[in-house]
């Protein structure tokens, strides 16, 4: 019975750890055919992978990161806004970005369960949490 209890504890602990890495539902900004996903609140814990590539837009209008592994819809850091023309993104601590600009920051790659269906590409989402200084 002891080993069954220990196994249950490991399974429960593993589930708790996995849930902590799942971001909250993103804020969705739409402007002139462009869709921007941004964190709905500051991160509780920072992911430490490097998120880097070129800012692009998917066929459905979602802002994405084009990197060596392909196209990943990008969730921008908390507080990011999309201009009314759908062309300029204002990232706190960095300033304006446009399609074709280089993106580099801290974050990670995972699924965003509450993302709009039109932003699903089959790849994990790039989660950009912090601007590199």
* Closest C-alpha among 99, 97, 123 to residue 111: 123
Give the architecture-level CATH label for domain 25-131: Beta Barrel (2.40)
What are the pLDDT digits (tens) for 18-38? 333 455 789 999 999 999 999
Tokens of 126: 């790039």
Look at residue 69 and tell me whether its pLDDT is greater than 60: yes
**pTM for the full predicted model:** 0.80
Residue found by looking up tokens 């504890």 in the block? 9
């Amino acid at each position: 019975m002891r080993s069954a209890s220990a196994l249950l504890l490991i399974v429960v602990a593993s589930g708790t750890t996995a849930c902590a890495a799942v971001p909250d539902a993103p804020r969705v900004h739409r402007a002139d055919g462009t869709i921007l996903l941004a964190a709905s609140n500051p991160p509780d814990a920072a992911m430490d992978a490097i998120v880097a590539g070129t800012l692009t837009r998917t066929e459905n209008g979602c802002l994405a990161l084009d990197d060596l592994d392909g196209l990943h819809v990008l969730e921008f850091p908390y507080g990011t806004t999309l201009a009314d023309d759908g062309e300029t993104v204002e990232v706190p601590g960095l300033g304006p970005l446009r399609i074709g600009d280089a993106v580099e920051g801290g974050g990670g790659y995972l699924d965003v369960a509450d993302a709009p269906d039109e932003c699903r590409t089959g790849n994990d989402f790039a989660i950009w949490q912090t601007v590199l200084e």
